[in-house]
Structure 1
Amino acid sequence: MKQTVTAIFDIGKTNKKFFLFDEDFQEVYREYVQFDEIEDEDGHPTEDLSALRNWLKTVFDRILKTEKYNIKAINFSSYGASLVHLDENREVIFPMYNYTKSIPQEIIDSFYEKYGPEADFHQQTGSSSSGMLNAGMQLYWLKNTKPEVFKKIRYSLHLPQYLSFVFTGIPLSEYTSIGCHTALWDFQERDYHDWVYAEKLDQILPPIVSTETSVNMNYNGKRIKIGVGIHDSSAALLPYVRSLSKPFILISTGTWSISLNPFTDRLLTQQDVKDDCINYMRINGKPVKSARLFLGNEYSIQVKKLAKHYGVEADYHKTVKFDPEIHYEIHKDFEPLFHWESIDVPNMPHKTTLRYTTFEHAYHHLMVELVLLQVASIKSAKGSMAIEKLFVDGGFSDNEVYIQLLSHHFRAMELRTTDSSLGSALGAAICISDTQLNSKFLKKNYSMKKHIPFIAK
């Protein structure tokens, strides 16, 4: 008797993952792979789409042939700010440009001269001026710097929808990818922003469908429901939204730490834009007020430096437990010591000063400073709303020092961590299922842990 499962491809920038979930959303199979990046025409690293596409097909075809599983549905989650461009033959043209690539300042200036002022524009589009992280700006850049090749584009697909296209051949768009800081969407008008129509980009953006849309297809002789894909942060949020009724904030941690507030009912204010708040979108098109912090990236940079300075193993930081005595010593004479390399903070030191004799003390001080940035980010996403629940998932959910410090700063809120290395994949599976979730779902599927703030001196 074959086991009925839902298949999910969860595509990160580093790890490409494949999961099978049973009908209770329990993981029954997984495999990971990593690919070397290739270079675009300027020598900038980017995703090897050909290798990715071949892996998707190879893995899925292999699993379809097994006698163990009966795949009823497949869906896809992946990172945003990435577009795949197809010509009239639906073949890929251009590399999939990396969102870390820079856009010439004159292109950005010309955009805001035509469609600014900048603060008003980003208030309307729920985005910030982030270069290639704004997928819309990628299209504007392409149109103005590579016009001859740009004319050959028939469709520009967000990455999650390209993954679906590999299996269906149907080009589509959906809300969560459009709404992830693309600068394409007018959140008040609930439509593409006027600039998209002025530049005629709507002609290459495929029809918009609900994120819960699926295509029933005969694939290699099997009848399978194929989803249209979902942006990974929105996917990670979905199980919480579906199973909880009271307002909460979800901090999705990793390279970026994103504080997500899905209970906002108004547009971003000018102050929100100044505080680097943006909007994501729920699967129904409603905004999710969010604040981003390059936390994981900065953390990686700093712990490497600490390990080298104190002569410990590169992964020694993973063994450090929270010590309230060390925290007390840091707190009583606190001053910032760290100079950030990837986070812009006013009045930070010009260079890092390590005045401690042990790695543990320096590490605690690093975490105190990073958590202060995290606290400010959460408060920006929260605004003036009365929210009592705080959830942390992703890479920092098992960092004891981070969690203890966070619970200390939000003593009046209920803080829980989740074991959700599967978060985005599970959300993608839920998105195309007809299952109703209840409040017990998170506890059962996410190994939820409640954290009590430590008693400070």
Structure 2
Amino acid sequence: MKMEEEATVVLDIGKTNSKLSLLGRDGRVLQEQRRPNVVLQSGPYPHLDVEGLWPWMLETLQHFAAQARITAIVPVTHGATAAMVNEQGLVLPVLDYEFTPPEESYRSKRPAFAETLSPELPAGLNLGRQLAWLAAHFPVEFARSRHVLMYPQYWAWRFSGVAASELTSLGCHTDLWNPQARSYSSLVSALGWEDKFPPLQAAWTPLGPLLPEVARATGLPADCQVVCGIHDSNASLLRYLQSQEPVTVLSTGTWVIAAALRSASPQLDERQDMLANVDVHGQAVPCMRFMGGREFAALAGGEPAAFTIADLQAVVDQGTLALPSFAEAGGPFAGQVGRVEGPAPKTPAEQAALATLYCALMTDYCLGALHASGPVVVEGSFGRNPLFGAVLAALRPTQRVSMSDDSSGTTCGGWMLHRWGEQPAASQHLAAPLQLSGLSSYRRQWQALLPRP
């Protein structure tokens, strides 16, 4: 790269890993660095290791700054996470959403599903529950906080010093947002939190330049802009929002989130973890999800083995079925204990094949419940499993299944926020339906054994 070439940095914080990507003017990923995320068990409750991430970010940005002229940093993160800050910094550690706050009285406070389109979820996946627990158990610190920042905006604030709120993170199963009224929910006013949330900004808004001390520590230009930022699965939607035809985007990673754009609106069933996320324009998008990456790892075991079509066929032939669920949080069968019916997989390759079949069947189940129509596009980590797309295409013969060739739809979406109005070059390939003998009857058997949600 020539130093005069402009570049964008996207900070992509998933639940399992954090990634910093350097993207060129055309949206190509030029370099990236990854780091596993850590949940710290010390202190008052399990919390995210933001102070461990910060020096890694600064060091990586210093390396990137030697490669190109970086003009913007865009934060993209998972949802269900907020930071309480004042002028001195964090007033409490950033609570891990997999921690389960004691029930207490939150259920009686939360708004009805009809208001928020946010289902009641386990652990801290409803952000309102986290905040209510923190306010009750740490009242002095809660009162000292100046802002409640959604997780992307926490990092934007950390880089720029400017506090902002943004729709996509507020609108992802938080209980804090009313998508139909496009305003904060009744929970926020009932608990007197209105003043805790800073002004709303569009996800693509530049909040300001880097703080001087950050520019000095990284070598980035003093005028490098910090963009407001976005919820990660909403970042995956950005390149499809302009299409007038139905399309379903599968954002895959720790979670598999199916977002059905412009399909016939389903009757959302909160008992099955169906919900509406909110896109960058404030529109409600019907979604359904399960913890696919976590479940795949539980079934495949450790580092998944390479597997072939023959391994998939062997699993189908012997009638080995994985039944939900293999993660504790969320999904249409939350609370059910996963089990394997039939002969156990004989090899690590068959374990990975079973995990792939399970995730494809769960995705098919979600697409059916959403009445999803039109093409299906697989973004994120499942795109690196070519046989996942081939099995899904066989299960959904009336829909075209495409696999994104990008390293991450979330990273691409972050780049689009900086280059608002520009489209990256399309980078997808069609998944050919896999001809597995007996797949239809295998699917029927799996569906017949499903627990009642």
Normalised-by-shorter TM-score class:
0.7 to 0.9
Change (3 A) 1:452 1:200: same
Question: Aligned residue for 2:259?
Answer: 260
Distance 1:86 1:452 in 2: 50
Q: Which runs of 5+ in 1 are unaligned?
A: 305-313
The CA RMSD measured in Å over matched residues stands at 2.8
Match of 1:82 in 2: 81
Deviations 1:289-337 (A, max 9, x none): 1101112211211222xxxxxxxxx54533333557536625xxx5745
| SS of 2:317 mapped into structure 1 | helix
Between the aligned partners of 1:350 and 1:275, the Cα distance in structure 2 is 16
Letter in 2 for 1:234: N
Asked if the contact 1:217–1:226 (Cα under 8 Å) also holds between the matched residues in 2, the reply is yes
Cα 1:114–1:135 shift into 2, 3 Å: closer
The structural deviation recorded for 1:132 is 1.0
Residue in structure 2 matched with residue 21 of structure 1 by the alignment: 23
Structure 1 residues 45-56: aligned runs within 5 Å: 46-56=47-57
Kept after mapping to 2: 8 A contact 1:211/1:284: no
Cα shift at 1:277? 0.6
Indicate conservation of the 8 Å contact 2:11/2:19, yes or no. yes
Answer whether contact 1:338 1:366 (CA < 8 A) is retained. no
Offset, 1:391:
0.8
CA offsets 1:31-86 (integer angstroms, 9 cap, x no match):
22335442243453x2222222333334335544x3x4111222111111111111
Separation (CA, whole Å) in 2 of partners of 1:347 and 1:39: 24
Corresponding residue for residue 307 of structure 1? none
- Counterpart of 2:224 in 1: which secondary structure? strand
Tell whether 2:416 aligns with 1:430. Answer: yes
Task: Tell me which amino acid in the other structure corresponds to 2:126.
Answer: N
Secondary structure of the structure 2 residue equivalent to 1:100: coil
Q: Does 1:166 align with 2:166?
A: no
Determine the C-alpha separation between the residues in 2 that align with 1:222 and 1:111: 45
What is the Cα deviation at residue 371 of structure 1?
2.6
Q: CA deviation at 1:145?
A: 2.1
What number of residue pairs does the alignment pair up? 422
Report if the CA contact (8 A) 2:162-2:207 is conserved.
no
Equivalent positions of 1:204-219 (< 5 A) are 204-217=196-209, 219=212
Following superposition, the deviation at residue 15 of structure 1 comes to 2.5
| Equivalent AA in structure 1 for residue 357 of structure 2 | V
Within 1, Cα distance between the matches of 2:7 and 2:335? 53
Deviation at 1:156, TM superposition (A): 0.9
Q: CA deviation at 1:100?
A: 0.3
Matched, 1:410 2:396: yes
> Given the alignment of the two structures, is residue 453 of structure 1 paired with residue 433 of structure 2, yes or no?
yes
Structure 1 partner of 2:309: 321
TM-score by length of 2: 0.84
Equivalences for residues 377-416 of structure 1 within 5 A? 377-381=366-370, 383=371, 387-416=373-402
Give distance in 2, aligned partners of 1:421 and 1:30.
10
Matches within 5 A, 1:268-347: 269=267, 271-304=268-301, 314-315=302-303, 317-321=305-309, 325-326=313-314, 329-330=317-318, 334=319, 336=321, 338=323, 340-342=325-327, 345=333
* Residue number in structure 2 paired with 1:100: 98
CA contact (8 A) 1:337 1:349 kept: no
Task: Assess if the C-alpha contact under 8 Å between 2:299 and 2:354 holds in 1.
Answer: no
TM-score normalised by the chain length of structure 1 = 0.84
CA contact (8 A) 1:251 1:258 kept: yes
Distance 1:329 1:86, change over 3 A: same
The 3-state SS of whatever aligns with 1:133 is: coil
Q: Secondary structure at the residue paired with 1:318?
A: coil
Report deviation, 1:400. 3.7
* Matches of 1:322 and 1:393, distance apart in 2: 26
Among 347, 353, 373, the alignment partner of 2:362 is 373
Letter of the structure 2 residue corresponding to residue 73 of structure 1: A
Task: Provide closer, same or farther for how the CA distance between residues 265 and 321 of structure 1 changes in structure 2, counting only shifts above 3 A.
Answer: closer
Distance across 1 between alignment mates of 2:34 and 2:366: 32
The equivalent of 1:311 in structure 2 is: none
Query: Quick one: distance in 1 between partners of 2:163 and 2:270?
Result: 33
Rate the CA distance shift 1:190–1:437 in 2: closer, same or farther, 3 A: same
CA shift for structure 1 position 115: 4.4
SS in 2 for 1:97: coil
Partner secondary structure for residue 408 of structure 1: helix
Aligned to 1:124: 115
For the residues of structure 2 that align with 1:451 and 1:289, how far apart are their CA atoms?
A: 24
The answer (yes or no) to whether the contact 2:82–2:148 under 8 Å persists in 1 is: yes
**1:182 is matched with which residue: 151, 165, 174?**
174
Question: Residue 126 of structure 1 aligns to which amino acid in structure 2?
Answer: L
Change (3 A) 1:72 1:16: same
Identity of aligned residues (%): 23
Match of 1:310 in 2: none
- Give the stretch that moved more between structures: 213-222 or 256-265: 213-222
> Aligned pair in 2 of structure 1 residues 149, 388: CA closer, same or farther (>3 Å)?
same
- Specify whether residues 265 and 174 from structure 1 end up closer, same or farther in structure 2 by C-alpha distance, changes over 3 A only: farther
CA distance in 2, matches of 1:345, 1:154: 38
Aligned mates of 1:216, 1:315 — CA distance in 2: 42
Indicate the SS of the match to 1:156.
strand
Aligned to 2:440: none
State the partner residue of 2:239: 239
Q: CA deviation at 1:240?
A: 2.9
Match of 2:34 in 1: 32
Q: 2:441: which partner in 1?
A: none
